[in-house]
Amino acid sequence: MALFVVWRDSVVGVGEAWRRLTVWERHADVVPLTRITVVEGGGGGVGTVFVARSGVGGLTFDDPMEVAVWRPPAGGRAGFCRLVKQGSFVTGWAEIEVRPGAGGGSRVVWREELRVRWVPRLFDSLVGWVARWVFGRAVRRLLARP
């Protein structure tokens, strides 16, 4: 499994950063060749299931995820969300933490462990590097877009 961590600081406050990162359909705006569909529990909390479909033409795969932990930021406490990947092609988990940052902004920490089926473990470091780049870019773009 490839484990990676992405940190991003933002001028956006904690509540707004949380909203921008946890409206799941918005991720399709910043991840190339991906569509997101919420299929169960559209409120975003525990039990919400959504599917990221990535690819082109007949070369697509689904990455279904379920929200396992949902603690929005409140009263100065950081927000925390854990997603469990339920697919047959990509498995693992992702955690999103949004905490207060400098000057009223926020700090986002995105941790993820993923395994891509049919990719030998020998390539885990490469998979982690690519995923860190893709998700780092996605987080930066989500935080920049209202």
Q: For 100-116, what is the mean pLDDT?
A: 96
pLDDT at 42 over 80: no
The answer to whether 12 and 143 have CB atoms below 8 angstroms apart is yes
pLDDT at 14: 97
In this structure, is residue 103 part of a structural domain?
A: yes
pLDDT at 103 over 90: yes
The alpha carbon dihedral of 69, 138, 62, 15 has a sign of positive
The alpha carbon dihedral of 23, 29, 34, 37 has a sign of positive
Q: How many structural domains does the chain have?
A: 1
State which residues form the domain around 81: 64-144
In this structure, is residue 86 part of a structural domain?
A: yes
Q: Is 14 helix (H, G, I), strand (E, B) or coil?
A: helix
With vertex at residue 81, the alpha carbon angle to CA 105 and CA 83, rounded to the nearest 5 degrees, is 135
The alpha carbon dihedral of 96, 91, 26, 46 has a sign of negative
Task: Tell me how far CA of residue 45 lies from CA of 22, 40, 82, 137, in angstroms.
Answer: 10, 10, 10, 25
**Sheet-wide strand order for 79-86:** 2-10, 106-116, 90-100, 79-86, 59-71, 49-56, 34-40
Is residue 145 very low, low, confident or very high in pLDDT (cuts 50, 70, 90)?
Answer: confident
In this structure, is residue 127 part of a structural domain?
A: yes
Q: For 99-118, what is the mean pLDDT?
A: 95
pLDDT at 146 over 90: no
Report pLDDT digits (tens) over 46-94: 999 999 999 998 899 999 999 999 999 999 899 999 999 999 999 999 9
Q: For 19-42, what is the mean pLDDT?
A: 92
In this structure, is residue 45 part of a structural domain?
A: no
Model confidence, pTM: 0.92
- Write down the residue that tokens 């082109």 correspond to: 56
